[in-house]
Amino acid sequence: MFLINCPYCGERDQSEFKAGGEAHIERPKQPTELSDDEWAEYLFMRKNIKGIQFERWNHAHGCRKWFNMIRDTSNDEIKLIYKMGEKPPKG
Amino acid sequence: MSQNLRVKSSNFIDETSRISFKFNGKTYYGFKGDTLASALLANDIHLVGRSFKYHRPRGIMTSGSEEPNAIVQVGNDKAITEPNVRATEVEIYNGLEAKSQNCWPSVNFDIGGINNFLSPLLPAGFYYKTFMWPASFWEKYEIAIRHSAGLGRSPTKPDTDIYEHRYIHCDVLVIGAGISGIMAAKTATKNNLNTLLLDEKNELGGMTIYQNSEKFKIDNKISSEWLNDEIEELNKLDNLEIKTRTSVAAYHGYNYLLARENLTDHLSKDEKENKVRQRLLKIRAKKVIVATGSLERPLVFNNNDRPGIMLSSAVKKYADYYGVICGKNNIFFTNNDTAYESAISLLKKGINVHCIIDIRENSNSSIVKEAQDLGLKIYWSHTIVDTHGYKRLKQISIMELSKDGQSFANSNKIVLDCDCLGMSGGWTPAVHLFTQSGGKLKFREKDQVFIPNKYQSEQVSIGSCNGDFELDEIIKNSSDILKDFLKIEKTGFDNINVETSKETSKKNIWLLPSDKIVGKTKPFVDYQNDATAKDIKLALREGFRSIEHVKRYTTTGMGTDQGKLGNMHALGIIADTTGVKMGEVGTTTFRPPYTPLTFGTIVGRNVGEYFDIFRRTPMNDWHINNNAEFENVGQWKRAWYYPRGNETMYEAVQRESKATRESAGILDASTLGKIDIQGSDASEFLNRVYTNAWSKLGIGKCRYGLMLNEDGMVYDDGVTTRLGENHYIMTTTTGGAANVMGKLEDYLQTEWPELDVYLTSVTDHFATATIGGPNSKKILNKLIPDLDLSDENFPHMSFKEEKIGKINCRIMRISFTGELSYEINIQASYGKSLWEQCMDAGKEFNITPYGTETMHLLRAEKGFIIVGQDTDGTMTPIDLQMDWVVSKKKYDFIGKRSLYRSDTMREDRKQMVGLLTNDPNTVLEEGAQIISELNQTPVKMLGHVTSSYFSPNLGKSIALAVVKGGKNMMGKKLFIPMEDKTINVTVVDPIFLDKENKKLNA
Ligand SMILES: [Zn+2]
């Protein structure tokens, strides 16, 4: 059970949070301009990495805020948490 | 009963307090402080159970939670009897009743014992191989196998005991209160860390607390006395919580642990009355110190399982701690020094020890010398090749080992008499919790043990679970590790003087040789599952290589003891047989719980009506008082229908439906999700989340909206009302409310943070009564006489803010039934009063309360969908023939692009249609499949029925269905094949009633 440091509330138990899939997938601004394949890429294709993964999390039973998390899926170590809209660190 | 098997030397047993208990129906006596195991041994009872597969007689083998054999059923009350309890962990109390398991008709005469003689026919994988064919016979085999196997009996009545959960947050959690655990708890506490110390036993101090040998001294005191003083000091410290009888079941990531605290299992019936029995502790610790100690291993030799064969440390504990003599004529069998400590302890109490059989060539440690000085006979380089005695050990046969330990130096066999054999195969660090937390092990070649290597979280292992077995090493290394881990200068144990007997040699022979061929021997590795070394070798011959596969095929390590005793032997035998290094074979995965948990502990107080949360509307009491049946919708309890007298559900729903269409009905709609939407971009936001356009909706007007997922599939629907320029109230389906709220927040925060929009869930703030039917206008007029209800002033799909009496309410003229109807929303606390006023005002019009079932029927007549019943996450609005609600003009909304994917534009997608049965009295089954050809193989399935009712207002059966290409099938005849008949149906428009909306605008 993770202990997650919500950027707005502080450390809380995992049971208060919802995982929201891969982070930094931006909704296309002009969907109608996209081909079926391009739209499908946005809609369906997600990475499932063993190792460092960028994820979205939501403090669903708390402040309801979304934020980003970098997590090592092989050992569940949370490397970094940063707010929505902030850019992920390089490297 | 005599207690002549007691020595007068125990500090832990209260001999003045005699306790009576029953075992297998017979009354025995023990003393306060005894476990069931120690009390039985004091009464000269070793035989307590039968093994799982061969039903061999088995005795008490250990003194702790690793016990594989002495598994008993405690209590005979149908509600609280408990199977699979280890006799070594049961503390006796007056009135305790326990009995043997896995034996029939009795432990002394067991019919299943015949399996023992049939055992050449029952090798590893026997059940898999034999009973899989023919498959139809499996049911018959299973009955026979289940009858002769089976571990104990489950309670047959609901548990009457009380359980609870408790959350604990601490700076430091110390698991295990042996010598290193005590050192850790004291050090942490003295450094102002809020500390929790847990131990599964009822007493602190682990094995050291009854160590009375002069050979082991700390600070010039005998080790047990020193530790006693430490514990006394510990008890005086603040900042420290100590819990005994508390076993850590699971160690999860981020130092989250679950422990079971046993509060009343050691008390008599009267004493435990109304008290919490067990408590599940949910612990979040900043730092964890694992001090779980180590487990002594048996030795694997032919017939190493007879009652009377025990671990050497158990024989010692029964004598030193419980004052119980396990045998009158004892022999020890060892590969290390432990058995010498046990033997010396027995000798000093005047208990007869015949000899020690040691597979090592020699040892000159001080403890071995002490044994020799006491005149103890030692057979060096010898091994036991067989044991004798059926229900109790009588004799052993020994032979001298060859130099390599794999065969014998000569053919001489010595037979020795004994009634108790204490064996020691060395010690295995208890690394179970460490690995559960994600920690990785390393193999120490020198003495062949797996010890903690890489730490995952803020944790550390100390003492023998970390591979330190000598007293001086335990104290020095624990102290050093604690300083580093807690970042402190000193521990108070830094320069302490320790005297110990150093072990000079160890020798592991994982499978000891026998003079018989392996196939004729029974060297048990896993006692509870009757897995022998022979089974492991068979599995390897049959091609199994991975330890995980060998484990499952032979069931080694799969009993309630989870391989605590035999895992290392299994690994050793695999390594020896395959020529792979032991460290490379790896271990099997240790999974929680470390010791079994009761279901009661896991569930805690969440039983009966507290099992799940219920949400009830403010009108709930009225529904109950008026005989409503309830339906669960999400977490809500919704009124389903209101039967009168002996009415069935069908009859009640027919009556409610007819009354509503003919005059007036009333529905509690409080459960619909309500989201308050405000902000200067509220209209733009709705444009993006709904399929239709919102900017031009006038203030005070309502509009139906359909919400899609990004994949174009219908997600939710509901009516949204514009309350002001920048203010809307959205309604959602009852079950979808929370998810819709979450989805809208997601888009607002992550995709469109530039929008000025604020969302508030107000579902629970309002109670909603919907009155519908031709007379609803008259009823509302009685409630609010001043309100002009004309179509000009208050048309369909509009909203008024009014007062009923002095109370503000929001009224929407909207309809889910096709009838003229008004949805009255009022502050939740006035909900019941509103409902009663509606009932009073409607009395003269025979206003009829109706539940969800009638609501479903009425809307089906009108062809309105229910998201989740008529849709299943694969239906687009086009599939639902709801093109009218999808804006062609809007550039974008959630899911729009997906409506133009080649797949969503297929003509042959399942589409929503109406179905009429040729016989108007035949009602279809929801979920029934639809076909177009009767004699087709395989038959092509076109779709299924989603909603189906007998409509009292139309006098015929109606149904909604999804059918491939259904849009272009109007008038087509289709078939519904049922088990006993085929039903003929015709495809029709899904709107069955008032297509012109005359009723709505009446
Ligand atoms: Zn938060």
| CATH code of the domain in which B988 resides | 2.40.30.110
- Asked whether residue B181 falls in the same domain as residue B147, the answer is no
Strand partners, B309: B421
B753 at interface of A, judged by CB pairs closer than 8 A = yes
Q: Which residues of B touch A26 (CB under 8 A)?
A: 751
Decide if B257 contacts B288 (C-beta within 8 A).
Answer: yes
- Kindly determine whether residue B901 and residue A60, on different chains, have CB atoms separated by under 8 Å: no
Q: Does B404 fall in a domain?
A: no
Q: How far apart are CA B563 and CA B553, in angstroms?
A: 14
Distance from the A52 Cα atom to the nearest Cα atom in chain B, whole angstroms: 16
Residue ranges of chain A whose CB lies within 8 Å of a chain B CB: 1-3, 13, 18, 20, 26-28, 30-32, 34, 36, 39-40, 43, 56, 58, 60, 64-66, 75-76, 84-85
pLDDT at B1 over 50: no
Per-residue tokens: B555 = 């069931």
Mark whether B743 and B842 lie in a shared domain: yes
State the pLDDT confidence band at B529, using cuts at 50, 70 and 90. Answer: confident
The C-alpha atoms of residue B400 and residue B26 are separated, in whole angstroms, by 44
SS3 content of chain A, % helix, strand, coil (to 5): 15, 35, 45
Burial bucket for residue B684 (CB in 10 Å: 0-12, 13-18, 19+): middle
Q: Which residues of B50-59 are buried (b: 16+ CB within 10 A; e: fewer)?
A: bbbbbbbbbb
Residues on chain B touching A76 (C-beta within 8 angstroms) = 253-254, 438
For residue B938, say if its preceding peptide bond is cis, omega within 30 degrees of 0: yes
Q: Give residue for tokens 């108070």.
A: B492
Residues with Cβ < 8 Å from B144, sequence gap 6 or more? none
Quote the tokens at residue B2.
């005599």
pLDDT at B11: 83
- Residue B524 inside a domain? The answer is no
Ligand 1 geometric centre to CA of A17 (Å): 9
Res. B104 pLDDT band, cuts 50 70 90: low
Which residues neighbour ligand 1 (ion) by CB within 5 Å? Answer: A 6, 8-9, 59, 62-63
Beta-carbon contacts of B801 under 8 Å, excluding residues fewer than 6 positions away, are B808, B809, B810, B811
Domain-embedded: residue B302? no
Phi, psi of B179 (to 5 degrees): -60, -45
From A89's Cα to the closest Cα of chain B, the distance in A is 18
In a domain, B41, yes or no: yes
Q: Are residues B623 and B767 in the same domain?
A: yes
Q: Are B701 and B798 a contacting pair, CB within 8 Å?
A: yes
Please choose, from the candidates B552, B453, B590, the residue with its C-alpha nearest in 3D space to the C-alpha of residue B124: B552
Calpha distance B337→B585 (Å, rounded)? 27
Q: Is the pLDDT confidence value at B179 over 60?
A: yes
By DSSP bridging, strand B665-668 and strand B848-849 are: parallel
Residue B851 domain flag: yes
What is the rounded (10 degree) CA torsion for B457, B463, B467, B471? Answer: 160
Q: Are B176 and B184 in contact (CB under 8 A)?
A: no
Q: Find, in chain B, the residue whose alpha carbon is nearest to that of A21.
A: B746
Tokens of B405: 């330990």
Partner residue opposite B254 with nearest CB, options A1, A30, A64: A1
B861 shares its domain with B974:
no
Q: Which residue of B has its CA nearest to A36?
A: B901
Q: How far is the CA of A56 from the centre of ligand 1 (A)?
A: 13
Q: How far apart are CA B567 and CA B526, in angstroms?
A: 8
The number of helices, as runs of H, and strands, as runs of E, in chain A is 1, 6
Of B254, B456, B892, the CB nearest to A2: B254
893-922 in chain B: CB under 8 A from chain A:
896-898, 900-902
| B207-215 mean pLDDT | 92
Q: Are residues B866 and B763 in the same domain?
A: yes
Cβ contact B471:B223 at 8 Å: yes
- The nearest CA of chain A is from the CA of B894 a distance in Å of 10
Of A1, A27, A64, the CB nearest to B253: A1
Q: Name the burial class of residue B854, with classes exposed (0-12), middle (13-18) and buried (19+) by CB atoms within 10 angstroms of its CB.
A: buried
Output the pLDDT for position B9.
Answer: 66
Is residue B406 situated within a structural domain?
no
CA A66 / ligand 1 centre spacing (Å) = 8
Distance (Å) from the alpha carbon of A41 to chain B's nearest alpha carbon: 12
Q: Tell me, yes or no, if B271 comes closer than 8 A to chain A by beta carbon.
A: no
Q: What residues of A are in contact with residue B456 (Cβ under 8 Å)?
A: 75
> Chain B closest CA to A50's CA: distance in Å?
15
Tell me how far apart the alpha carbons of residues B541 and B550 are, in angstroms, rounded to a whole number: 11
Chain B nearest C-alpha distance from A25 (Å): 10
Residue of B nearest to A78 (CA): B254
Q: What's the CATH number where B22 sits?
A: 3.10.20.440
- What tokens does B973 get? 């005849």
Nearest to A58 by CA among A49, A69, A50: A69
Residue B130 has pLDDT above 60, yes or no: no
**Domain identity same for B127 and B236:** no
Taking residue B542's Cβ as centre, other Cβ atoms within 10 Å add up to 12
Residue B325 tokens read as 């003599």
In the reported structure, the alpha carbon of residue B745 is separated from the centroid of ligand 1 by a whole-number distance in angstroms of: 14
CA of A29 to the centre of ligand 1 (A): 29
Greatest distance between any 2 Cα atoms in chain A = 43
Shared-domain flag, residues B986 and B882: no
CA dist list (Å): B960 to B527, B704, B768, B914: 61, 20, 28, 5
Name the helix (H) or strand (E) containing A82: strand A77-83
Which domains are assigned to chain A? 3-83 (3.30.2270.10)
Angle subtended by helix axes B533-541 and B547-554, to nearest 10: 120
pLDDT digits (tens, 9 = 90+) for B325-360: 999 999 999 999 999 999 999 999 999 999 999 999
> Confidence band (pLDDT; 50, 70, 90) for B598?
very high
Distance B903 CA to ligand 1 centre (A): 40
> Which pLDDT score, from 0 to 100, does residue B656 have?
98
Boundary-marking domain end, from B155, B178, B212: B155
- How far apart CA B195 and CA B482 sit, in angstroms, is 14
B742, B753, B900 member nearest A60 (Cβ): B742
Domain boundary among B137, B155, B173: B155
Selected for mutation to probe chain A from B749, B757, B887 (highest A CB count within 10 Å) is B749
User: Which residues in B136-245 belong to E strands, given as ranges?
Assistant: 162-175, 195-198, 217-218, 221-222, 240-243
Q: Is the pLDDT of residue B121 over 70?
A: no
Residues with Cβ within 8 Å of B534's Cβ and at least 6 positions away in sequence, in order, are B123, B518, B519, B521, B522, B523
* Cα A2 to averaged position of ligand 1 atoms, centre (Å): 15
B140 and B172, same domain (yes or no): no
Taking a C-beta distance cutoff of 8 angstroms, is the pair B824, B768 a contact?
Answer: yes
Instruction: Name the pairing type of β-strands B276-290 and B459-461.
Output: parallel
> Under a CB-based contact definition with an 8 Å cutoff, are residues B700 and B725 in contact?
no
Torsion sign across C-alpha atoms B778, B780, B786, B790: negative
On average, the pLDDT of chain B sits at: 93
Residue B5: predicted pLDDT:
86
A8-66 pLDDT tens trace: 999 999 999 999 999 999 999 999 999 999 999 999 999 999 999 999 999 999 999 99
Contacts of B711 in chain A (CB under 8 A): 43
CB contact under 8 A, B253 and A76: yes
Find the residue in A nearest to B904 (Cα).
Answer: A36
Q: What integer pLDDT is reported at residue B126 of this predicted model?
A: 57
The answer on pLDDT for B487 being more than 60 is yes
What residues in A contact B760, CB-CB < 8 Å? none
Is B449 part of a structural domain of the chain? yes
Distance, in Å, from the CA atom of B734 to the CA atom of B716, rounded to the nearest integer, reads 10
Cβ contacts of residue B766 below 8 Å, gap of 6+? B670, B674, B810, B825, B826, B827, B828
Which residues are paired to B760 by β-bridges?
Answer: B676
Do residues B835 and B721 share a domain?
yes
The answer as to whether B548 is a domain residue is: no
| Least confident piece of the model among B512-521, B788-797, B895-904 | B512-521
CB contacts of B897 in chain A (<8 Å) are 28, 31-32, 34, 39
Q: Confidence class of residue B135 from pLDDT cuts 50, 70 and 90?
A: low
pLDDT in tens, B889-942: 999 999 999 999 999 999 999 999 999 999 999 999 999 999 999 989 999 999
From chain A, pick out residues whose CB is under 8 angstroms from the CB of B742.
18, 58, 60
DSSP secondary structure code for residue B363 in this structure: -
Burial of A76 (0-12, 13-18, 19+ CB in 10 A): middle
C-alpha–C-alpha distance, residues B149 and B972, integer Å: 60
Q: Which DSSP category does B701 fall into?
A: B
- The CB-side HSE value for A90 (13 A sphere, CA atoms) comes to 0
Tell me which H or E stretch contains B333. strand B330-334
Half-sphere exposure of B599 (CA within 13 A, CB side): 11
pLDDT at A68 over 90: yes
Range of the domain at B992: 906-1001
- Counting the structural domains of chain B, the total is 4
User: With contact defined as beta carbons under 8 Å apart, do B948 and B959 qualify?
Assistant: yes
Q: Residue B412 Cα, ligand 1 centroid: separation in angstroms?
A: 77
Interface probe for A, chosen from B251, B750, B757, B876 (most Cβ of A below 10 Å), is: B750
For residue A86, give the chain B residue with the closest CA: B750
Q: What's the rounded Cα separation, in Å, for the pair B926 and A80?
A: 50
Please, which pLDDT band fits residue B591 given cuts at 50, 70 and 90? confident
Per-residue pLDDT reduced to its tens digit, B286-335: 999 999 999 999 999 999 999 999 999 999 999 999 999 999 999 999 99
Q: Are residues B856 and B928 in the same domain?
A: no
Letter string b/e over residues B434-456, b meaning 16 or more CB atoms within 10 A of that residue's CB: bbbbbbebebeeeebbbbbeebb
Structure tokens at B323: 């004052």
Find where tokens 């994982």 sit: B510
Give me Rg for the CA atoms of chain B: 38
Nearest CA in chain A to B761: A64
Q: Which of B64-68, B123-127, B545-549 has the highest mean pLDDT?
A: B64-68
pLDDT at A89: 79
Which residues lie below 8 Å from residue B32, measured CB to CB, with a gap of 6+?
B13, B14, B17, B19
Report CB contact under 8 Å: B898, A85: no
On whether any CB of chain A is under 8 Å from the CB of B751, the answer is: yes
Amino acid identity of B400?
E
B890 and B916 housed in the same domain: no
Name the residue facing B438 among A36, A75, A84 (closest C-beta): A75
Q: Residue B605: pLDDT above 70? A: yes
pLDDT over 70 (residue B808): yes
Looking at residue B3, its pLDDT comes to: 53
Check residue B466 and report its DSSP letter. G
Cβ B110 vs Cβ B56: under 8 Å = no
Query: Chain A contacts of B710, Cβ < 8 Å?
Result: 27, 43
Q: Which of B710, B742, B897 sits opposite A34 (nearest CB)?
A: B897
Find the mean pLDDT for residues B32-46: 96
SS3 for B902? coil
Residue B164 main-chain phi, psi, to 5 deg: -150, 170
In Å, how far is B751's CA from the nearest CA of chain A?
Answer: 7
Give me the mean pLDDT over the B246-256 stretch: 95
Contact yes or no for B901 and A36 at CB 8 A: yes
Of the residues B838, B863, B895, which one is the last residue of a structural domain? B895
- Substitution target in B455, B744, B897, B904 with the highest count of A β-carbons within 10 Å is B897
Q: Is B740 helix (H, G, I), strand (E, B) or coil?
A: helix
**B904 contacts in A (CB within 8 Å)?**
none
For B46-61, what is each residue's pLDDT tens digit? 999 888 788 889 999 9
**Residues B172, B147 share a domain:** no
Task: Name the pairing type of β-strands B798-804 and B673-678.
Answer: unpaired
Q: Is the predicted pLDDT of residue B457 greater than 80, yes or no?
A: no
Report the side by side order of strands in the sheet with A18-22: A18-22, A52-58, A66-72, A77-83
CATH number (domain holding residue B445): 3.50.50.60
* Beta strand residue intervals within B530-599, DSSP E: 531-532
More confident residue, A87 or B263: B263
- Taking each helix axis from N to C end, the angle separating B366-373 and B338-348, rounded to the nearest 10 degrees, works out to 30
Q: What is the pLDDT of residues B683-734, one digit of tens each?
A: 999 999 999 999 999 999 999 999 999 999 999 999 999 999 999 999 999 9
Yes or no: say if B550 and B572 are a contact pair by the CB < 8 Å rule.
no
* Yes or no, beta carbons of B746 and A3 under 8 Å apart: no
> Nearest C-alpha of chain B: how many angstroms from A3?
6
